[in-house]
């Protein structure tokens, strides 16, 4: 049984540094991730990471800043939303479209990562992690096509490849299936409710009122 602290990003016990980066990944994924990156390099792609493990506290900071309007909250078309006249419940679901609730992110497990191709852009390029960068006119389109054909050979897939009305499609987000599927099966609704009862972040009351919908749409994968 996997404990709640691990599932909600409150421990790094099973994580290791990936190559010579600052990024932590699950130790059981590390070798296959290295193999994926090496295979991509042979085809001319220089894959780089923007995010792997993200702690509960980091996710909480992102969440709280978005709920206060310090960080931009985007709609489904990646356009910033004016939160001035929105209810707390509306803000809750707007944030969830692109950002997981604290303790509800797959990045807490070290099995998921956000990537881009360094060879496709200049050194000073600021990666936005928006769909347009990974579509046909975007700089990361060719690496996306290569990953579509090859990532499964190394155990990876895109959990947010399609829009099911929850988290928006994220072509940059890869997940290591041998681990993440087992972690998700352990993270049932009862554990999510337990987590909420132990938590303290902005919009928590709204999250508790909508806990089942949040779990089904934004944590459980269809």
Tokens at 189, concatenated: 């609704």
Round to whole Å and give the CA distance between 47 and 205: 40
Give the CA-trace dihedral at 54, 112, 169, 10, to 10 degrees.
-30
Stated length of the chain? 222
Name residues whose C-beta falls within 8 Å of residue 211's C-beta, 6 or more positions apart in sequence: 189, 192, 193, 196
Domains of the chain as residue ranges with CATH:
4-217 (3.30.1380.10)
Angle in degrees, CA 75, 134, 171, rounded to 5: 70
Instruction: List the chain pLDDT tens, one digit each, 222 residues.
Output: 789 999 999 999 999 999 999 999 999 999 999 999 999 999 999 999 999 999 999 999 999 999 999 999 998 888 999 999 999 999 999 999 999 999 999 999 999 999 999 999 999 999 999 999 999 999 999 999 999 999 999 999 999 998 888 899 999 999 999 999 999 999 999 999 999 999 999 999 999 999 999 999 999 975
Q: What's the rounded Cα separation, in Å, for the pair 197 and 117?
A: 40
What pLDDT, on a 0 to 100 scale, did the predictor assign at position 165? 83
pTM: 0.94
């Amino acid at each position: 049984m996997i404990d709640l602290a691990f599932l909600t990003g409150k421990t790094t016990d099973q994580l290791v540094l990936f190559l010579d980066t600052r990024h932590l990944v699950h130790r059981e994924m590390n070798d296959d991730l290295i193999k994926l990156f090496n295979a991509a390099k042979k085809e001319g792609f220089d894959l780089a990471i923007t995010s792997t493990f993200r702690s509960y506290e980091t996710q909480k900071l992102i969440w709280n800043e978005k709920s206060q309007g310090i960080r931009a909250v985007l709609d489904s078309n990646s356009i910033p939303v004016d939160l001035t006249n929105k209810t707390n419940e509306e803000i809750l679901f707007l944030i969830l479209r692109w950002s997981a609730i604290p303790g509800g992110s797959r990045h807490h497990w070290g099995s998921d990562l956000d990537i881009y191709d360094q060879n496709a852009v200049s050194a000073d390029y600021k990666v936005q992690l928006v769909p347009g960068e990974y579509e046909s006119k975007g700089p990361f389109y060719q690496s996306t096509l290569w990953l579509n054909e090859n990532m499964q050979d190394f155990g990876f897939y895109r959990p947010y490849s399609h829009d099911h009305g929850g988290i928006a499609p994220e072509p940059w987000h890869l997940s290591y299936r041998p681990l993440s599927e087992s972690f998700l099966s352990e993270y049932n609704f009862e554990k999510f409710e337990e987590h909420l009862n132990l938590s303290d972040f902005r919009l928590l009351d709204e999250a508790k009122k909508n806990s089942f919908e949040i779990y089904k749409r934004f944590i459980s994968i269809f």
